[in-house]
Amino acid sequence: MSKGILHLKKKKVKATLEHTVPSYEEVELLALPIPTLGKKLTPGQWVIQKQVRRIQNGNLEDTRRYLTELKDMELKNEESQAVVFASGLLDTLVNILESGDMVSKITSIEILEALCFVDLYHRYLCTINIGVAMCSNLVGDYNSRKMVLKLLCLFKLVTDRKIVQAEAVASNAIGKLLGYLNVDSGILQKVTDEVKTGDRFDRLILAAEACSCLSLLASEKHFYTRFLELNGPKIIQKLFEARSTVLIISVITLIEELSKYEDIISAFNIDQLVSSLLNTMRQPNSELQVKTISCLSSITHFTPAIEVFIRYKGVERFVYFLKRKDVKRETSVIKCVTKALSNCGMKPNTVKKLREMNLIDYLAPYVTGEDEELVAPCCILLSQIATSQESVALLRYGEVLQSVIKLISTATNPTLIVAAISIVSNSIDDKANVEIVEHEEAAKFLWSLLNHEEPEVIAAAVGAIAKISMVSESVTRSSHFLAGGLEKLVILLDHTVPSVVLSCTRAISQLAKDQAALDILIDHSVIVKLARLTKTKKPKLQHAVAEAVAICSSSTGAASCYGKCKGIKHLIRYLWSRNRKIQRGCVLALAQLSVTEDNCMEIAQHGAINVLILMTSSYDKEERKAAAATIANIRRLTRFK
């Protein structure tokens, strides 16, 4: 451990918090490297050490000059850090912050900013000494605004959760910062962008910088608790009265940062907040418009905000922005607009409204672009809109569908891939689109995605394969289908993610209708996997498994194998399900399984006869027929009367 650390002065600091220096044991627990001096100083180290001695021993004017000279030196390399720690410069800077003149304080802070890259200084000395000294210097003297703001900007660097005092420093800082935001309505409404000087202007700039500092602190531990205790949402919401663009931009940036926390956004008056943001969009300032749209796209993640956004005609305003010719050059705006609209697209009424506005025509050019960050929100929005037969018919114009199919194989963003798969899956409702899907070999790309690492991508790809196979033979003609595609599908039945298992089970039900595919599935032990899945208690999976068993057990060998795997006793439980679809699937499966004597005996032993007799009077023709066939097989093979 460096000798410089041993000579730290344990002095009292004027502050509102109790100041304590960590013990050596606490410092060792941090396991941080401490720069040490060698036996002989290098020329660079000697110059820095000499400069530090001048600062410590000089008078007021000399100290200012020496500090300025030190600030211009290289302080970030390891050699310089060793001298800084050994010479006690940090304690000297703390003394200047507490009792020095304004110029010296500002220069000291600039030196501290340069040293904040030093790991030990950040976590140990900076958090305790500078953090406490910082709070003592947060005063309402607007002439010292430059010093105060620089101190505030260090908060993000000096708060560390490993030091107990850091939480207290951060908590105190939040109170101080919110105090700077508590501006009188008279000042907010009278100071415009034309005013560049004066105490009122300084007051608004101080509030704007305080917003920026709060944005930095928003990620700190226990921030939102302290923020809500001090009624932060109400204070921030009042700032929308301001006529200063600088302050409004800072406020909107802060709200966007706070939108990560649902508890904080819920504490705002959502109606008033969304209304204020939408009104701000009308301002001619382009930077302000971009910030506002970005903020709205962030808060529309929450259902209450979405409802208010729709009620205040936010969807119409965003579509108008998207259609404007000058906005089309602003990529950042398009990203935010499409993101917000996709959040609202989860509402059925909104989807209908977006279709009526012919939004598909405006999204098409962006979907065919190369910027993946822009293409992703556009594809997500397009996948929500293009669900009806009329809307999917528009996808074949302008090579939109071809571009989306290409994205399936080239995109790296999982969310974008899922959206592209959804568009392709919905597009086959139109016959002309089916020809495009076959020509572009979409099935080949979908089969290749079964090896993707993201479960959501696998589930979407399997679902699309099943849907396309209903209208096109391109799925079964694909080389990937013949070269291990079905085998991979069976293997995925053991996946740990339920959505993947559900999609694979449904796909097997569809693909097994082809006899060649069924033979391959049986060869890869699909019956054994289905018997194991029959134990599930999830209704959706129960329905899918029952249908898959009904189709895959059409041969005597498969039915016998399923019975030997002890799947029948679990399958019979489905007869007592409240879900009619599960009951129907179970009866159809039992009709196929009852072709062997052992299976019939097990069905009868588990009390299924009475339920099957009741089902013979069902309104569903196939269900009646399956129930009657099962009873007939049991009577014939077991002589049950």
Distance CA 223, CA 47 (A): 43
Q: Which residue has the tokens 């900076």?
A: 126
In a domain, 100, yes or no: yes
Position 33 confidence tier, pLDDT thresholds 50, 70, 90: very low
Is 630 a member of any domain?
Answer: yes
> Is 255 in contact with 295 (CB distance < 8 Å)?
yes
Give the closest residue to 126 by CA, choosing from 87, 101, 160.
160
CA 579 to chain centre: 35
Q: At 29, is the pLDDT very low, low, confident or very high (cuts 50, 70, 90)?
A: very low
Integer Cα distance of 541 and 519 in angstroms: 23
The set of residues, in sequence order, having a beta carbon less than 8 Å from that of 222 and lying 6+ positions away, is 167, 170, 171
Q: What percent of the chain has pLDDT over 70?
A: 75
Residue 498 inside a domain? The answer is no
| Cα distance between residue 138 and residue 210, in whole Å | 11
pLDDT digits (tens, 9 = 90+) for 244-300: 888 898 899 889 888 888 888 888 889 999 999 988 888 877 788 888 888 888 888
- Give the amino acid at 419: A
What number of other Cβ atoms are within 10 A of residue 305's Cβ? 26
Contacts of 259 (CB under 8 A, 6+ apart): 265, 295, 298, 299, 301
Question: At residue 366, does pLDDT exceed 90?
Answer: no
Largest Cα span, the chain: 114
pTM of the model: 0.66
Query: What is the structure's pLDDT at 530?
Result: 93
**Domain end point (choices 116, 137, 158):** 137
Quick: pLDDT tens for 311-347. Answer: 888 888 888 877 776 655 567 777 888 888 887 766 6
Domain that holds residue 40: 1-137
Average confidence (pLDDT) over 94-100: 69
**Alpha-carbon span 429 to 230, nearest angstrom:** 55
Examine the fold and report which residue of 110, 137, 164 is the final residue of a domain before the chain moves on. 137
Overall number of domains in the chain? 2
Residue % of the chain over a pLDDT of 90: 12
What token pair was written down for 152?
């505030």
What would the two tokens of residue 372 be? 């993946």
* 65 lies in some domain: yes
H-helix or E-strand spanning residue 126: none
Look up residue 168 and give its two tokens: 């207290």
508 part of a folded domain: no
Q: Is 192 helix (H, G, I), strand (E, B) or coil?
A: strand
Any idea what the CATH number is for the domain that residue 625 is in?
Answer: 1.25.10.10
**Residue 23 confidence (pLDDT) above 70:** no
Confidence of residue 169 (pLDDT cuts 50, 70, 90): low
Tens-digit pLDDT profile for residues 510-567 = 988 888 888 888 888 899 999 999 999 999 999 999 999 999 988 888 889 998 888 8
**Strand (E) positions, 339-498?**
none
For residues 531 and 567, is the Cβ–Cβ distance under 8 A? yes
> What are the residues facing 243 on neighbouring strands?
192
**Structural domain includes residue 551:** yes
Domain termination residue (choose one: 137, 168, 186)? 137
CA nearest to 563, candidates 587, 592, 538? 592
Burial of 143 (0-12, 13-18, 19+ CB in 10 A): exposed
Query: To the nearest whole number, what is the mean pLDDT of the chain?
Result: 76
Residue 456 lies in a domain: no
Task: Please give the pLDDT value at position 6.
Answer: 30
pLDDT at residue number 502 = 94
Say if 49 falls within a structural domain: yes
